[in-house]
Every structure is written in structure tokens, then in C-alpha cells.
Amino acid sequence: MPTSHSVDKNPEFARCLESNQIAALAPLHWLSLGCKDIVRAPILSLVYGLVFSIIPAFIMWLVFQSGTHLVILPASVAFALIGPAFAAGLYDVAWELEKGHKPTLMHSLKSMFRNPAGEWGFAILLMVIMIVWMRLAALIHALYPNVPNPNFEQLSAFLALGSIVGGILMMAVFAISAFTPQIMMERRVDIMTAVVSSIHAVGTNVPAMIVWGLSIATLVVIGFLTGAAGFIIIMPLLSYASWHGYIAIIKTKKPRGYE
């Protein structure tokens, strides 16, 4: 039975929306629901998948053209974590299917302007974080041993600092971006409410979020191994699954069977 989601009209700024606690393996169920959404809306999924496959293809081109490995990890992780965050159109497709409607390209494109201040503000926030990440990666690279064929001991400081900084930033971006764009699109709340609620939801469901993060990483690796062609399917799948994850975790009106 279709459900309707009400716009959150609470004017309080930077509040925290309640979240459910879910099973650790719930993300696998989200992925199965995402597969069903692709089958139910194959043309729209293909259109968005083709558009989003350009991003990883550009990353691969950038690596080959620059001849440096500095951009590989930050760019790949950035794509893995924030790619679905810009998939408002795909979230709308999943939302329309959830309500029993027939999704259309025009309706999904309009969804990008449901909460323009919040959505563009979030995009700028992620862009700033990625720029800082890239600059830190360049600074850390200064620790790389200036000798041919360095051994592990010589690389230890470089690897340790790089792993610590990268891990902290990766967890921060994951917590921020896990549910923020979905909250802003459906609830139309301010960006801080969405960010705080996303961080709280991730912290409440650490086991499930570990499974979700590993699922994202695995699919992204598969996408790059296929020369970016796999992202034509992977990006819609991750976006649809992210929407179902939002419905399962953030307390809202939802159909049964999401937990």
C-alpha cells in the first residue's frame, strides 16, 4: 500500500531526528530492494547510470593523464561516499515506486530543487571536505621516502599518517553523507538538522553501517575493475538501496518490511 511522507515543518534548527536500530545485515536487504527498483524502472535507471558512470571514468582518465597516484585514493573514496549523495533523481524514482506511482524523468529532475538551499549547501560542504582531503594527501606525500625502492620501515611514517588521516576523514564523510541528502529531500529540513540526524543514525547502527560501508566499497571496486562500465548498474543500485536504508532507519511513515 502506498505511503505518503509529510514535510517536516518544525522550525527548530539543527535538531536531531529520531532513528531506529536495525539488524546488522539489513543493508543486504536494502540492496535486494534496490535490485527490484531497477527492474521496475529500467529505463530511468539506465539513463542515470550512464550519467553517473562518467564520474569514475573521469577519475580513471585523470590518473592516467596526471601520472601520479596521489589522486587515486581520495578521488575513489570521495566517489564511493558522495556519489549517491548527488543522486536526488534516483532517490525520487525509489520514492515514487514506494508510493505506487510511475516515476518519470521530469519528476525526478524536479526533485533536485525540492530543498535547493540545503542540497546545494550540502554539495558545497562535501566539496570543501574533498579539497581539504586532497591537500592533506599532498602534504602527507612529503613524508614519502626520497629513495628508490623504499622498504617498509622507510615507508612506515608515510603509511601510518596517511592511514590515520584518511580513516578519520572517510568515517566523517560517511557519517555525514549516509542519510543527509535523503532527509533534506523528503523532510525539507535545514542542512544542519539533516547532518546531525545522519551522524546520529550512523552512530546508532554501527554494525549495520559497517556492512553497508563494506558493500559500497565492494561494489565500487567491481565498478572500477569493469572500466567504469559496471557503474551503469552499480550507481542506481546504491542510490536505491540508500533510499531504502533511509526509510528503514530514520523514523518516518513507512511501509512494513523495511527493517
Instruction: Note the pLDDT tens digit of each residue in 18-42.
Output: 999 999 999 999 999 999 999 999 9
Instruction: Note the pLDDT tens digit of each residue in 114-153.
Output: 777 777 788 788 778 877 877 887 788 777 777 777 777 7
DSSP 114: S
pLDDT band at 3 (very low <50, low <70, confident <90, very high): very low
With cell 572500466, the residue in question is: 227
Secondary structure element (H or E) that encloses residue 75, with its range: helix 72-82
* Cα–Cα distance list, 112 to 115, 179, 219, 248 (Å): 7, 16, 25, 22
Beta bridge partners, 19, equal: 250
Q: Alpha helices, DSSP H only, in 141-228?
A: 152-177, 180-187, 191-204, 206-225
pLDDT of 122 reads 83
Instruction: Note the pLDDT tens digit of each residue in 156-179.
Output: 888 888 888 888 888 998 999 899
Beta bridge partners, 250, equal: 19
Instruction: Note the pLDDT tens digit of each residue in 213-258.
Output: 999 989 988 988 887 889 899 999 999 999 999 999 997 654 444 4
pLDDT, averaged across the chain: 82
- Structural Rg of the chain based on CA atoms: 19
In the predicted model, is pLDDT for residue 83 greater than 70? Answer: no
Cβ-contact 5, 95 below 8 angstroms: yes
